[in-house]
Amino acid sequence: MRLAVVIGARGGIGTALARALDATGAFDAVVGLSRHSSPSLDLCAEESIAAAAAQVAELGTPHLVLDATGLLSDADLKPEKSLRAIDPAAMARAFAINAIGPALLMKHFMPRLPRDAPAVFATLSAKVGSIGDNRLGGWYSYRASKAALNQLVRTAAIELARTHPRAICVALHPGTVDTRLSRPFAKTGLDTLTAETAARDILAGLARLRPDDSGGFFDRHGQPLPF
């Protein structure tokens, strides 16, 4: 079976991506994974990631893996406005969800992509993770963890190309989407996207990418962004 896999399928963008993929009919099945799915997948528990990847492989071959996970804030983490606001435990949690977790997804899912057919592993990054585009400062944990994610994607793409020359591994900025993650921090008057619009644009943008684009950082339309 030709599979599409959405990780973080219970989130706003993840739910919309899974529905949009299912509506295309391009895959035999769309598998949504999260902490509440069966199998369950917890970014902070590698054994659950390995088990989920193995169970997906029993169903078929994943030709598209979309990581729609991410953490901007929770009860213990808020975007820092200054250095004095940095809390090491909160920063470690941001890195665990935004960088280490996706790295483990790459570790366990990318080897299962087809070697002789086009395939995609894409993870949601954020424009504020761009070092070259950082002009406002602040948001230390989120910025740094997403910058780390971009480096992980670039590095993994180099390795992937050696065994899967037709595959693509990229980081994507979905835009400012009206979801629980970004809603508290959206500026008044800023245009926000519905999750459905973001999902539609992400899938269209991915369709424009080619193996030479692997390792890159792109917006939802497939346009390159600075690292």
167 has which bridge partners? 119
Average pLDDT of span 189-200: 86
Percent of the chain residues topping a pLDDT of 70? 95
- What average pLDDT does this structure show over 168-193? 79
Sequence-ordered list of residues with C-beta below 8 angstroms from that of 16, at least 6 positions apart, any chain = 194, 195, 196, 198, 199
CA proximity to 217, closest of 155, 131, 139, 153: 153
In the predicted structure, residue 189 carries a pLDDT above the cut 60: no
- The yes/no answer on whether domain 2-219 falls in CATH 3.60.110.10 is no
The yes-or-no verdict on residue 188 having pLDDT over 60 is no
Indicate if the pLDDT at residue 190 is higher than 80: no
- Are the C-beta atoms of residues 8 and 67 closer than 8 Å to each other? yes
The Cα 176–Cα 195 span in angstroms is: 9
Q: What is the pLDDT of residues 91-111, one digit of tens each?
A: 999 999 999 999 999 999 999
Does pLDDT of 215 surpass 60? yes
Q: Is the whole model's pTM more than 0.85, yes or no? A: yes
- With b for 16 or more beta-carbon neighbours within 10 A and e for fewer, the 44-82 pattern comes to eeeebbeebbeebeeeebbbbbbbbbbbbbeeebbbbee
Phi-psi region of 163 (alpha: psi -120 to 50; beta: other; left: phi over 0): alpha
Both tokens assigned to 181: 């993650």
The band of 75, judged by pLDDT with boundaries at 50, 70 and 90, is confident
* Residues whose CB is less than 8 angstroms from the CB of residue 227 and which lie 6 or more positions away in sequence, other chains included: 130, 131, 132, 147, 150, 151, 154, 217
Across the chain, mean pLDDT equals 95
Query: 11-44: per-residue pLDDT in tens?
Result: 999 999 999 999 999 999 999 999 999 999 999 9
